[in-house]
Structure 1
Amino acid sequence: MKEIIITESTITRYQSYLVREEKSPATIEKYTRDVRAFSLFLSGRAVSKELTVSYKRKLTEEGYAVRSINSMLVSITRLMVFLDRPDCIVKTIRTQRQTYSEEEKELTKEEYYRLLRAAKVSPRLCLLLQTICGTGIRVSELQYFNLEMVRRGEITISCKGKIRNILVPGGLKKKLLDYAKINGIQSGVIFRTRSGRPMNRSNIWKEMKKLCESARINPNKVFPHNLRKLFARTFYSIEKDIAKLADILGHSSIETTRIYIMTSSTEHRRKIECLGLVV
């Protein structure tokens, strides 16, 4: 079998392959980052099953979370498919499905309200937080919130090869239109930088982190995706319809949606104690 060494040229061709596969920019960035880390581990050595297994073992020994390790292994699997080296693919780590979430990483509704109060000094950020949390969109999907669609009250999102429509709640629609009017936005994307470009994940992440101290919230809880998960838990607590929630979130698998709606360990423990089976 032909010997393959991962070079920068290999990674560039891999990125082009992912584009042809219609992967999202965020996915391409993530896969590329993981492959570069694997390439550093190889240090010029040719790809082999033994080295891939060794890399998996190294990640485990370094204390990475199982979910993170499996995510990195998926990236490498995609690379091996591209390189036509299925013999080098390793299995992900099998785990029993978790029945509750880690409380220290879960953003509560009360903490979300504290974030909004802290963000009052920045109307754009305050409205941006409400837009993500009030609709359950991915942070990358904010670019679809343009004035024309907001006026219509329905946002058409094209992501990961799928098209779905998001309804804009009446209260949020009014806030967005008022914001656009005050800031002289007559068309196009609403959340934009000073240069007129759509705000990206990095811009938003940095602005959110600045709120942590004044909002008295653990920084580990404050990132855009946690707003999406708060929407999911809140929606499910009212509707109890996981299939509908999966459609709203744009999930291909309900198994992914299950992760979003897990209760905290405290809530999980309270429900078990309410069973009254220990006397």
Structure 2
Amino acid sequence: MEQKTEEKLTPEVLETFLTHLSDRGCSHISLQEYRRTLNGLYEYLSEEKIITAQSGLLWRQWLEEQEFSTRTINTRVSVWNSLMRYLGHRDWQVSTFSNIEDVQPELTRNEYLRLLSTAKQLGQEKTYLLIKTLGGVGLRLQELPQLTAAAVRQGRVRLERQNGVSARILWIPAILQKELMSYMEQKGITEGPIFVTAGGRPMDRSNVGRCIRSISRDARVSAEKVNPRCLWKMYQSTQEGIQANITVLMEQAYERLLEQEQLTVGWE
């Protein structure tokens, strides 16, 4: 039988795979992690949702570029490998990293607020806005140049991958949009990236890191926590906490609805 050279991933295929894992005794928590990872993989793929022998390696490289920790990348690659084994493509599996880095320190919400407060007190508006953008919108460092004057005016950032396929759209909170608009007006920015160097070039990793770390001491926040990755992780953690609370509220509301209906049409 001729080996397939490509495979189309569909929601049905992924659901069948998750059912397979459940039937094999995979725990509810593990299934949730699998689902999150598979959703991320599905979103990463181009519109055709086609995978080949090279897709796993390309995805791993993309995860590295997004500055995910080694531990997180290994976890996601393991999910990919499990999926490939299920689909009969063991030769499409990807190796994980053998050296696991130390756990990345986490920036708390209070520390984030101290950074903003310190930047404001020091009159460092650019630093303030960088921290608020990276920690409040969900932008990755490499996506920062896509935050343009046009995007701020529209109130959303349309993020594109290198192949031109739209990856996602991020909404800019109204409060931050107002502050960015004011900054643009002060600096005379009418087009192009918002955050640029004195020479007009988009700020790179070293520029951004140096800028936001400059206030860590005054803010009494460990310098190792003041970086784009920790800001992004804090944003993600905040979002997950809010979503968890919403889920609980929805479940409680549904329970109350059922109780009210029970009073009317319950058997007893």
What's the TM-score bracket when you normalise by the shorter of the two chains?
0.5 to 0.7
Task: Look up the match of 1:110.
Answer: 110
Name the CA shift for 1:216/1:67 in 2 (closer, same or farther; >3 Å).
Answer: same
Task: Look up the match of 1:157.
Answer: 159
Name the CA shift for 1:152/1:90 in 2 (closer, same or farther; >3 Å).
Answer: closer
Query: Does residue 216 of structure 1 match 2:254?
Result: no
Name the CA shift for 1:156/1:90 in 2 (closer, same or farther; >3 Å).
Answer: closer
Question: Which letter maps to 2:141?
Answer: V
In 1, Cα distance between equivalents of 2:204 and 2:134 = 13
Deviation at residue 69 of structure 1 after TM alignment: 11
Task: Look up the match of 1:176.
Answer: 180
In 1, Cα distance between equivalents of 2:143 and 2:227 = 15
1:148–1:187 contact (8 Å) kept in structure 2: yes
Of 120, 124, 129, the match for 2:126: 124
Q: How big is the alpha-carbon RMSD for the aligned residues of Structure 1 and Structure 2? A: 3.9
1:107–1:222 contact (8 Å) kept in structure 2: yes
Deviation at residue 240 of structure 1 after TM alignment: 2.4
Task: Look up the match of 1:133.
Answer: 135
Deviation at residue 67 of structure 1 after TM alignment: 3.4
Instruction: For residue 145 of structure 2, give the secondary structure of its aligned residue in structure 1.
Output: helix
Percent identity between the aligned chains? 32
Deviation at residue 70 of structure 1 after TM alignment: 6.0
Instruction: For residue 170 of structure 2, give the secondary structure of its aligned residue in structure 1.
Output: strand
In 2, Cα distance between equivalents of 1:165 and 1:91 = 30
What is the CA deviation profile of residues 207-260 of structure 1, one whole-angstrom value per residue up to 9, with x for unaligned ones? Answer: 222212111111121111111111111111112299xxxxxxxxxxxxxxxxxx
What is the CA deviation profile of residues 9-53 of structure 1, one whole-angstrom value per residue up to 9, with x for unaligned ones? Answer: xxxxxxxx9xxx6966x739x9xxxxxxxxxxxxxxxxxxxxxxx
Instruction: For residue 105 of structure 1, give the secondary structure of its aligned residue in structure 2.
Output: coil
Query: Does residue 207 of structure 1 match 2:211?
Result: yes
Of 175, 192, 197, the match for 2:196: 192
Task: Look up the match of 1:8.
Answer: none
Name the CA shift for 1:91/1:183 in 2 (closer, same or farther; >3 Å).
Answer: closer
1:208–1:222 contact (8 Å) kept in structure 2: yes
Of 217, 235, 257, the match for 2:239: 235
Instruction: For residue 158 of structure 2, give the secondary structure of its aligned residue in structure 1.
Output: strand
Q: Which runs of 5+ in 2 are unaligned?
A: 1-53, 79-90, 247-268
Question: Which letter maps to 2:173?
Answer: P
Question: Which letter maps to 2:65?
Answer: T
In 2, Cα distance between equivalents of 1:195 and 1:94 = 39
Equivalent pairs, count: 170
Question: Which letter maps to 1:215?
Answer: A
What is the CA deviation profile of residues 176-202 of structure 1, one whole-angstrom value per residue up to 9, with x for unaligned ones? Answer: 111000111121111111111111111
Instruction: For residue 240 of structure 1, give the secondary structure of its aligned residue in structure 2.
Output: helix
Question: Which letter maps to 2:233?
Answer: K
Q: How does 1:30-109 map to 2 (within 5 A)?
A: 67=71, 92-93=97-98, 105-109=105-109
2:130–2:212 contact (8 Å) kept in structure 1: no
Question: Which letter maps to 1:128?
Answer: L
2:141–2:228 contact (8 Å) kept in structure 1: yes
